[in-house]
Structure 1
Amino acid sequence: MKIAFFSCHPYEQPFLEAANSNHRHQLTFLSQQLTPETVPLAAGHQAICVFVNDQLTRPTLQALADQGIRLVALRCTGYNQVDVPTAQQLGIRVLRVPTYSPHAVAEHAVALLMSLNRKTYLAYERTKQNNFTLDGLMGFDLYGKRVGVIGTGKIGAAFSRIMLGFGCHVVAYDKMQSAVLQQLGVEYLPVNELLAKVDVLSLHCPLTPETHHLIDASALALMKPGAYLINTSRGGLLDTPAVLEALQSGHLGALGIDVYELEDDFFFADWSDKYLPDADLNALTHLPNVLVTSHQGFFTQEAMEQIAHTTLNNLTYLEQGQLPQQHLSEDYVVVE
């Protein structure tokens, strides 16, 4: 089967080619993002594969259907970028990668938290200039602090375990409470009660209409002055202007994000020699108590291998018109 990979970066190709050795598909790697205008690049292919910032909107899906393409693989977990009803209407089958080393994202969330707390990013810049003073670098012990986790799926659970290992008191919110985490000492609380109690809040829930702007001005007002906020899940969970206001007023102590609501236009691209036409993102990247990374939480060797393996398996299953037993669940299927 001929497959066009959109938004494909050079660092992905070796993993995809290695995973394809057992499938023998014909892979076309395209750097372009999938849009209605770039759909013609998929001409002559039977399937496409897309990433987090490729928007499978109604116009895009219709253009794909007009090309005769009915198979789509997402090489990511989230599928909020897919117009599911339109895909169903057009008979386009869509599968995703439900999990790929939850430790990769969980550990990146911890890295953001630790760097913000101990100011290692500031110390790095100082010592490069031979400034070895400690002024402004004071942090706090994580041991004994209360850490809130919203979303205790695989990634949230991994993050919770790490925080428990630090000696933190972990409190969580999720519609589906984990008995395993409860046995480890995690306490589940209503969202508002959790927000009011935590010293650190880390988000690990999907972006849905219900969770859109979950952290807005009212949620931030409930949080303790000086609390830290970490988001490695989806940018739309944060009301960015409200978060900026809380940072600038001093109410929010620090922010670490690996995702941004409007990241589609900026992340995975080099803007170092161009004006960045996003006032909020510009403000965030220049605040001393903010760390922004460009959606790299997934970016470990183990995760890349798993993503490539699952993606190529999914495409083979789609080609064959059937799913193996372990795929007969909504974990993999977005549109069947």
Structure 2
Amino acid sequence: MLISPDMIALITQARAERPKLRERDLAATLGLSEAQLVAAEAGGAATRIVADPARLMPHICQMGDVMALTRNESAVHERRGVYKNFHAGAHASMVLGDEIDLRIFPRHWVHAFAVRGETDQGVKRSVQVFDAAGDAVHKVHLGAGSDAAAFDAAISDLAVPDDAPFEIAARAAPEPARIDAARIDALRSEWAQMTDTHQFLAMVRRLKMNRLGANRAVGSTFARQLPVDAVSWALERSAAEALKIMIFVGNEGCIQIHSGPVQRIEPMGPWQNVLDPRFNLHLRADHIAEVWLVSKPTKRGPAVSVEAFDAEGRLILQMFGKRAEADIETSGWDRMAKGLAAEVLA
């Protein structure tokens, strides 16, 4: 048994008393990780399965049209589509479908469950993956058009023995902005020489900094701070101008990317939302502590992004103009983002 009988009883009582509370929030009220909450259903609604994406993803690719969900503390990114073009790697893997676009970091895929439960709307099926601390890394929700047989096949192939260890590690503390004052000139020089955005993180790590620290240190040629509501403005103007954009939301184990326009922007209390038929974004706007307009040199011209961080220095999301080999025109986004900066900083 993964969770003690006393804890299972406590979880059952809490669910009965607060039936509408989301699993993540229910876990927090009980002082548990979300993975422990799901593990309490092991042997019933939940089956523990192999978390390794090299084994798991080929099964998910057979499940048809599903909803992919990746989140962090402040943003939830939901994209409907079919998982296609999975590329496994020891340190990084990718799903490169037209709708489902993921960057996967396998060492953080530690615990996984296939969950099947009866509801008033019928059977709900999902695959849920968690990191070592039991925080959600990635989820796949099946719907009426998904392949239930492929879900069952994944359970048959990937089920973990009942006696396999199940340990939850301490959650890592967030890393604050890190700047090495002695290397700021080197940062500016190397930033100017970038030819691809993928060079950025290796560069700042080599210079003993991190993303937020580099944004703060590099200077206005490459990074300018915006008001915290600039993300909402960027979403609203992108929708109004029907711009093709990219929205990145991630955690340590997975980054999920939406590429294309956004249409229906709906603020609801502290949440800013995109509520489109195939893409939803739920953003806690009140968690945003810093927003930066960032420009990175590439062979195809500057990659301009709007980047939001929380009060502890964690990246919440990034927005870019849509770039792909067959669609490299980002002038609309670039003009909007730079014009936004000129307007709000005036």
Q: TM-score, normalised by structure 1?
A: 0.23
The structure where helix makes up a greater share of residues is 1
Larger RCO (alpha carbons 8 Å, 6+ apart): 1
Q: TM-score, normalised by structure 2?
A: 0.23
The structure where strand makes up a greater share of residues is 2
